[in-house]
Amino acid sequence: MRFHHLLASCVLVATSFSAGAQMLARPGWKGNGLSEQPWWKNAVIYEIYPRSFQDSDGDGVGDIKGITSRLDYLQSLGVDAIWLTPIFPSPQKDFGYDIADFTSIDPQFGTMEDFDELVSQASRRNIRVIMDLVLNHTSDKHPWFVESASSKDNPKRNWYVWRDGKDGSTTVPPNNWLNRIQQSAWQFDPKTKQFYYHYFAVEQPDLNWRNPDVEKAMFDVARFWLNRGVAGFRLDAVNTMFEDAQFRDAPPLPGTNEYGEPARSQEYQRNQPEVHDVMKALRKVTDSANGQRVLIGEVYTGSTAEMATWFGAKHDEIQLPMDTSLGFLNKRNAAAFRKKMTEAQQLKLDTPLFVFDNHDRPRSWDRYGDGEHNAEIAKVIATILLASRSSALIYQGQEIGMKTTPPTRKEDVRDPRGLAGWPKEKGRDGERTPMQWNPGENAGFTTGKPWLPIPADYTQHNVELEQKAKGSVLNWFHDLIALRRANPSLHEGEQVMLDQDAQNALVWVRRSAKATKEKPPVVVACNFSAQPVTLQLKKQVTALGIRGSFMRSLLRTDGGMGGMNLDEVKLPPFGVFIGEVRY
C-alpha cells in the first residue's frame, strides 16, 4: 500500500484539558487541510466494533490496547475519525448497548488510562475519537434502574417509563406496543406490579426523556467525555427516545413486518417531535466545547428528505444524521441509486453521511454482490461512498471485502437479538466476526479463542495480503480516500449526475466552485452491469459548460494507466474510471 501523508503534523498546544482536548485546540484544526469547512463535512469516519477489532491480551475479545496498536493502519488508510461502539461497563446483554455506568470503561476492554492513551495516540496521527452515546435506554443493572425498580415512590421511579397494565391487569400490558423484534415492548415487574417499557431487549429499559433530571444526567455524561477529548458522539437510536404521551395503541398497517407477521405502525413509539428539543439542547452542549465537536445520528429514515429533518431547521441539531436510504437500498439498480444520490445533493448546505455497512446489518458485500464480481462491486460501492459529495462511514472489514458469516445453529448464536428471535431473527453475529488482519492463526485477531468464529475466507481477504496486492479492494479504498483528500473537486465540489437514463452505468461530475485549468472538473464513471460498456459523455459534459474532450486518468479499476476520450469511456464489468477533464 502506498502511504500518503498529506496532512502536516501539527504541534500540540498546551491547554488545561486532557491530551485529547489539547488535540482539539490546535491551530489549523479547521478542515482537512484543504478548505475552511469544518473537518467533519467531508470526513471519512471508520466504525470500530471493539469486541472484534483487535485483541491484545489473548482473551478472545478485542480491547482498547488492541485498537491503539492498529492506529498506524488506520492512519495509512487515511481516516479522519474512528467511532467506537460502546466500551462502558455492561452486562453485555446487547454487547455494550446495555450500559450500567456511562462514565467508566468496561474492564474487558481496558482502563480509563488505556482510553486516554488511545485518544492521545490517535491525536498524534490526526485521528479523532468519537464515542457512542446511548440516550434511549440503560442496562437494567444500571444503578438508576435498580433504584427506579425498587419501589413506586423511589425518587428515580420516574426516570424510566412505568405504567399499570391494561385496566390494572398484571398480565395484559398497558398497550399493544411491540419492541425492535416485534415482541411486546412491556415487561411486568412482580415487585412493584407495574410494567416498564423497552423498545430494545428486556434488559434495556427506556429512559423517560419527559423527566428533566434524565436530560441533565445524560448531558453530564456528554460533558464528561467531551472533557476527556472525544471529538463527538454517535447518537444511538435517537428516533426512539420519546413515546407518545398518551400511550395510544399502535394501529394496524397493511402487509407484513420483516418477520412475516401482520404489520403494526410504530408511529407512537418513534420520531416524536419532542426529540428535536433535546437534540438542540445537546448541540449547545457540544458546541460549547472547543474544537468543532460533532453529533452523528443513527436515525434510520426511508428518504433523504426525512433524514434532513434531523439537521434542524436552523442547522442547530445533528450535524451528520446518517443517510442510510442509499446504502440500504439493497438492490443493484443504477436508476434507484441515481435518484437517491440526486436527492442527497439537494441538501446544499449540508452533506449527507452515507453508510453502507455497520454492525447491525448484513454486509454490503453480500447485499450487493452477485456471487461472481463481488470484489468489483465492492469497489463500485466504495466509489459511491468516497467519490460522491458526502461524508463517508466505513465499517471495519468493509475495506477488505469481508462477508457476512451468520450462525447456522442456535447453539452458536451470541447476539441476544438472535437468541430471543431465533429462528425468524438470526441476530447480528454475521457482520460482527473478527477483523481479518493476516493469513496467520485466528487472522491475527487474537492469540486466544475468538469470541466469534473467524470466517473461512480470511486467508484470501485480510489486510496484510491486500496491502500487497495491486487491484485489491483495500488498495482501492486507500487510493480513493487519498484522492478525495487531495483533489479539490472531489473534496468539496458540487455533484451533477449524468447519463440519467442509463440502466448499466452510474456517472457523475464533481466540480469545485473554483474550477480552473489547475482544478478541473472530475468525472466518475461506474459500470453497473456484468457486461463491458462504452459510454458517450461529451455532449452531457459540454451541456454543463465544461470544455474539453479528454480525461486524464486519476484512478481506474482495470489497471490501465492512460486517459480516455469523453465519448469513448470503456469500462469492464463493474469497472470504475475516475478522470479529470482537460481543456
Binding site for ligand GLC (CB under 6 A): 94, 97, 134, 200, 236-237, 298, 359-360
Nearest distance from C-beta of residue 128 to ligand GLC, angstroms: 20
Q: Is 446 left (phi over 0), alpha (psi -120 to 50) or beta?
A: beta
Least Cβ distance, residue 359 to ligand GLC (angstroms) = 6
With respect to ligand GLC, which residue has the nearer C-beta, 298 or 466? Answer: 298
Compute the distance between CA of residue 399 and CA of residue 539 in angstroms, rounded to an integer.
Answer: 35
C-alpha cell belonging to residue 1:
500500500
Q: Which is nearer to ligand GLC, 298 or 317 (CB)?
A: 298
- Whichever of 57 and 360 has its CB closer to ligand GLC, that residue is 360
Of the two residues 131 and 566, which places its CB atom closer to ligand GLC in the complex? 131
Q: Check: CB of residue 86 under 8 Å from CB of residue 120.
A: no
Residue with nearest beta carbon to ligand GLC: 97
With respect to ligand GLC, which residue has the nearer C-beta, 97 or 528? 97
Q: Any idea which residue has 478522470 for its cell?
A: 579
Nearer to ligand GLC, 10 or 420 (CB): 420
List all residues 6 or more positions away from 464 whose beta carbon is below 8 Å from its beta carbon: 437, 438, 439, 444
Q: Which three cell numbers stand for residue 273?
A: 417531535
Distance in Å, CB of 140 to ligand GLC, minimum: 13
Nearest distance, CB of residue 417 and ligand GLC, angstroms: 7
Read out DSSP for 153-185? T-TTGGGB-EEPPGGG-SSS-SS--B-TTSSBS
Pick the closer one to ligand GLC by CB: 236 or 323: 236
Q: What Rg value do the Cα atoms of the chain yield, rounded? A: 24
DSSP string, 471-496: T-HHHHHHHHHHHHHH-HHHHH-EEE
Closest separation in Å from C-beta 264 to ligand GLC: 20
Q: What is the spatial distance between Cα 557 and Cα 566, in angstroms, rounded to a whole number?
A: 17
370 annotated active-site: no
47 is known as an active-site residue: no
Shortest distance, position 580 Cβ to ligand GLC, whole Å: 38
Q: Cβ of 499: how many Cβ atoms within 10 Å?
A: 19
Contacts 24+ apart (CB under 8 A), 8-13: 8/33, 9/124, 9/126, 10/126, 12/123
Catalytic residue among 55, 98, 106, 298: 298
End-to-end CA distance of the chain: 32
Given the residues 94, 140, 236, 466, the one annotated as active site: 236
Angle, CA 239 vertex, CA 405 and CA 415 arms, to 5°: 25
Least separation in angstroms between CB 451 and ligand GLC = 16
CA angle 575/577/581 to nearest 5° reads 160
Question: Would you please indicate which residues are annotated as catalytic (active-site) residues?
Answer: 236, 298
